[in-house]
Chains A and B, each alone.
Chain A
Amino acid sequence: MIRALKLEWLKIRNYRTFWILLSMYCLALIIICFGGMFFLEYLKSLGADFEGLDPTILPIYDFPDIWQNITYLASFLKILLAFIVIISINNDQSYNTLRQNIIDGISKKEYLLGKILLISSLALVSTVFLFTSGLINGALYSHVWGASFIFDELEFLFAYWYDIVIFCTLAMLLSLIIKKAGFVIIALTLYTFMFEPIVGVIMTEAPFMKNGIWPHVAPFLPIHALNDMIPVPFLKYLFQEIVDNIPIKALIISTGWFVIYLAGITFILNRRDLKA
């Protein structure tokens, strides 16, 4: 385990592109976490109000709701971490260092393990970063304080971590299939933010589909299932009821996809000839 992870660390430690991407990602996380109050101030300046209430008193940074709010928003940024994974896999393929690594004496299984550990570590760094940001924002704005509130609903941080791991594993699979980093980045971005959401809406809303089984199929789509793990939190401020725990169904479907991705990666690694 340590050996496989250290190999990945040696590869990225002196890689400037990696550090630039990671810094950009952290900056984006900071903006998302700390920007909430500024956004509400902005809404107020536009004269918006919620049934006569001033937007700035919306308790978005109150414990424990803060965890669902920030993990929901920050999970959109996982695409940036996926770019790091795509570039890392792509380097190993285009520089033929995947082949050289294997010639030098690691197994393909160990190579996969190294990449999954790299992904898990990046997700962990992100989760810890988000947890710290949450604590700071909560300390600044939360109307309630105390361990029972602060450490409630921390399962959203787990869901956040798991979401990133699965998404980046999908990115790894795509990088192995498509091989060209630019294409993978475009394909993954379009699929995540356009194709699948549109297909999902068609399945649930189109007149010729919404009475069939299609609305029940939509939650099984890979990105849909990932997004379902952290339900949209903000509706609670408009309607009083909201799902504020991780739906088990989404967790199981996502895990299913995770297994499929890992199987696909293993299949490709074992089957492909690594000729120059």
Chain B
Amino acid sequence: MTDILEIKGLTKNYGKLKAVSNLNLNVKQGQVYGILGPNGSGKTTTLGMILDVVAPTSGVYNWFGGISPIEARKQIGAILETPCFYPYLTAVQNLRITAHIKESSPNRIDEVLEQVGLSERKHDKFKTYSLGMKQRLSIAAALIANPPVLILDEPTNGLDPQGIAEIRTLIRDIAADGKTILLASHLLDEVQKVCSHFCVLRKGVKLHEGAVNDILGETNEIEISATNLQELTDCMNALDAFDSVTRENGQLVLTTREGITSEQINKHCFEKGITLKKLVTRTKSLEQEFLKILQEK
């Protein structure tokens, strides 16, 4: 896979404050790459530098193996923080400006507005829009040139739950087309649901980098429950296959020893005449791993 973006030793200092410190990153074609970090960790500054609106103190970046940054930006659909449009222009008029800069055809304006659900309001002025609609318009603007790369900074900021779900579906659909997406977010859940790869930033320093699937996966904890919880507890204690058996919210949480599978537990219960109504292997969440990463460093 070819490198879409290569960042080497990127650093930005604001006086004494190190906003981004010696950052190295490689984003490959087709990845949905999440930059994860708390507020003020340098996510937007990093995106600002690779989009040429913030001057790096030191370090370099290359788009598409090193083409001119201006040409590169025409092939990137990007939104940075809040949506920025002319309030006195309508959605269509604003997108015409974006399409003009990107040297792409204005024919796609209706299509992208349809895609983000703004068709009905497309002839209304931007200043009359709600925050959610503004956010959608900025995503429409990012999509206008049908770019191979998207940069989205907190794309679900300010949206209601339905809007958040729609935008995430949209991002996954776009990723399924083989586009590369760089997504900055402080929402762990968002990165977990959408991204294939991620890195963790804190105070401008990269703490971790890797594939989302590597860090997720199954744990050695199993949740079970049955109608007669006491009988189930006794049965599990008798089995002597667990490090701990604890009752939690009307269910049992088992910490299994090496080699014990959920299948074996199910079989054992069935033989003892207990019918399980729940049997779930707990998976790791990015949240737990994220907190672990932050604690380790």
Interface residues of chain A, those whose CB is within 8 Å of chain B, are 3, 6-7, 10-11, 14-17, 91, 95-97, 99-107, 270-271, 273-276
Contact = CB atoms under 8 A, between A and B. Distances in A.
A91 B86 CA distance: 8
B88 A7 contact: no
Top 9 closest pairs, chain A to chain B, by CB: A105-B74, A105-B73, A96-B84, A100-B84, A274-B53, A104-B101, A273-B54, A103-B51, A10-B97
A107 B70 contact: yes
Most buried by A among B44, B53, B88, B96: B53
Interface bracket on B:
20 to 34
A3 B97 CA distance: 11
Given A107-B70, A271-B55, A15 B101 contact: no
Interface string B71-87: 10110101011101111
Contact of A99 (B53, B55, B70, B141): B53
B84 A274 contact: no
A276 B82 contact: yes
Contacts of A104: 73-74, 78, 98, 101-102, 141
Given A100-B84, A104-B101, A276-B82, 12 more contacts: A14-B89, A14-B90, A91-B86, A100-B85, A102-B51, A103-B80, A105-B71, A105-B76, A105-B101, A273-B48, A273-B54, A275-B48
A10 B96 contact: yes
Interface of B: 44-45, 48, 51-55, 70-71, 73-74, 76, 78, 80-82, 84-90, 93, 96-98, 100-103, 141
Contact of A275 (B54, B74, B78, B85): B54
Contacts of B102: 104-105
A220 B87 CA distance: 41
B101 A106 contact: yes
B120 to A, nearest CB: 20
Contacts of B96: 10
B70 A7 contact: no
18 contacts: A3-B103, A11-B86, A11-B89, A11-B97, A14-B93, A15-B86, A95-B85, A96-B82, A100-B85, A104-B74, A105-B73, A105-B74, A105-B76, A105-B103, A107-B70, A275-B44, A275-B53, A275-B54
Contact of B81 (A11, A17, A107, A276): A276
Nearest to A272: B55
B100 A10 contact: yes
A102 B52 contact: yes
Given A273-B53, A273-B54, A274-B53, A97 B93 contact: no
A258 to B, nearest CB: 26
Contact of B88 (A15, A102, A105): A15
A102 B53 contact: yes
B15 to A, nearest CB: 12
Contacts of A106: 70, 101
Contacts of B97: 7, 10-11, 101
Nearest to B51: A103
Contacts, number: 85
Most buried by A among B44, B80, B93, B101: B101
Most buried by A among B82, B84, B90, B93: B84
Contacts of A10: 93, 96-97, 100
Nearest to B52: A102
A274 B70 CA distance: 16
A44 B162 CA distance: 77
A170 B45 CA distance: 31
B13 to A, nearest CB: 11
Contacts of A11: 86, 89, 97
A101 B141 CA distance: 11
B78 A103 contact: yes
A95 B48 contact: no
B101 A95 contact: no
A221 B54 CA distance: 35
A17 B86 CA distance: 13
A91 B97 CA distance: 15
A105 B144 CA distance: 13
B51 to A, nearest CB: 5
B77 to A, nearest CB: 9
Nearest to B71: A105
A95 B100 contact: no
B220 to A, nearest CB: 45
Contacts of A96: 82, 84
Given A271-B55, A276-B82, A103 B100 contact: no
A99 B84 contact: yes
A101 B101 CA distance: 7
Contacts of A107: 70
A5 to B, nearest CB: 11
A103 B145 CA distance: 13
A99 B78 CA distance: 11
Contacts of A270: 55
A55 B76 CA distance: 67
